[in-house]
Amino acid sequence: MDGERMSTTYSLPYGKDKIEFQLADNLSVDLIAPAPSTGAIDPGAAVESALDHPVDGRSMSQFQGAHSAAIAVNDKTRPVPLHLLLPPLIKRLENLGIPPEQIQLFFATGTHTPLTQEEMIALLPPALANRHALISHDCDDAADLISLGVTTKRTSVLCSKRFLQADVKIVTGNIEPHHFAGFSGGAKTFSIGLAGRETINRNHSLLLEPLARTGEYDRNPLRQD
């Protein structure tokens, strides 16, 4: 009809769903999306292969003789497929002689609200939820924080005492672009996810520096800290 404006429907991910909306075609719109990619045909086999061929060449056999293990995992704010990652990882720890009751799972919440027991169980494969101690980090629990010194950027480092007490310490998580830390995951899951509030706030105060930006890793002040 005369005077009627044409429009295009767009879709954005929102939570576990998508939101659709329309924009008039006379508007200038740039659609930025990741390049199409396909995941692993057999994700479970991909995890096993990664454990068999670690990047630095050191196998899990180096942990032979260990009596306890602590595994840091992301909380509910990160899309990590724990049902794929944890079973083969824990199986290898048990094959090394570490009993299930000595394998603890630490939910690295950072300054997020600690998870309830029900929330932790909901993130785990059912077969694992009742076999291991589940611990949600609390950045304000002074009794569970231990000082590791001060960084070159004068950040006082306070981290989870219970996590550090384990013979074997393993960090899991997703790696994706981060708007001021360069990328998420890696050491950040421990150094921030299992740190005290003072440590986290001081580290995050560096986000105002010029190199605290997406995709910047080696020179990123938060990573250097």
β-pairing verdict for 168-171 and 69-74: parallel
CATH numbers and ranges of domains, the chain: 44-51+66-224 (3.40.50.11440)
The tens digit of pLDDT for each residue in 149-174 reads 999 999 999 999 999 999 999 999 88
* Per-residue confidence (pLDDT) for residue 89, from 0 to 100: 95
pLDDT at 75 over 90: no
* Per-residue confidence (pLDDT) for residue 202, from 0 to 100: 95
**Angle, helices 43-52/82-95, rounded to nearest 10 degrees:** 40
d(CA 153, CA 131): 41
pTM of the model: 0.84
